[in-house]
Amino acid sequence: MRFIDQFSLKDKKVLFRFDYNVPLDSSQNITDDSRIRATLPTINYALDAGARIIIISHLGRPKGKVKPEFSLCPVAKRLSRLLHKDVVMAPDCIGDNVRGLVDSMKSGDVILLENLRFHPEEEKNDEGFARQLATYADVYIDDAFGNAHRTHASNVAITKFVKECGGGFLMKKEVNYFQKCLEKPARPFVAIIGGSKVSGKLEALVNLIKRVDKMIIGGGMAFTFLKAAGYEVGKSLVEEDLMPMAAEVMKTAKELGVKFYLPVDCVMAPEISAEAETKIVPIQEMNSHWMGLDIGPATITLFTEALANAKTIVWNGPMGVFEIDAFGRGTAAMVHSVANSYAMTIVGGGDTDVAVHKTGESDKITYISTGGGASLELLEGKELPAIAALDACGGAL
Q: What is the pLDDT of residues 3-20, one digit of tens each?
A: 999 999 999 999 999 999
Residue 396 has pLDDT above 70, yes or no: no
Residue 212 has pLDDT above 80, yes or no: yes
Q: What is the pLDDT of residue 354?
A: 83
Q: Taking the CA atoms of the chain, what radius of gyration do you get in angstroms?
A: 23
CA 95 distance to own-chain centroid: 32
By the 8 A CB rule, do 2 and 139 touch? Answer: no
What domains appear along the chain, each with residue ranges and CATH number? 4-171+384-391 (3.40.50.1260), 187-342 (3.40.50.1260)
Q: What is the pLDDT of residue 397?
A: 35
Residue 282's beta-bridge partner residues? 265
pLDDT tens digits, 112-122:
999 999 999 99
pLDDT tens digits, 251-269:
999 999 999 999 999 999 9
pLDDT tens digits, 24-57:
998 899 988 989 999 999 999 999 999 999 999 9
Residue 341 has pLDDT above 90, yes or no: yes
Q: What is the pLDDT of residue 329?
A: 95
Residue 64 has pLDDT above 90, yes or no: yes
pLDDT band at residue 381 using 50, 70 and 90 as cut-offs: confident
By the 8 A CB rule, do 253 and 211 touch? Answer: no
By the 8 A CB rule, do 147 and 386 touch? Answer: yes
Residue 289 is classified by DSSP as: T
Of 370, 383, 278, nearest to 18 (Cα)?
A: 370
Of 199, 204, 251, 205, nearest to 220 (Cα)?
A: 199
User: Which residues have a Cβ under 8 Å from the Cβ of 130 and sit 6 or more positions away?
Assistant: 153, 154, 156, 157, 158, 160, 161
Rounded to whole angstroms, how far apart are CA atoms 201 and 376? 8
- The answer to pTM > 0.85 is yes
Q: What is the pLDDT of residue 313?
A: 96
The pLDDT mean for the chain works out to 94
pLDDT band at residue 372 using 50, 70 and 90 as cut-offs: confident
Give the residue numbers annotated as catalytic, written as ranges. Answer: 35, 197, 350, 373
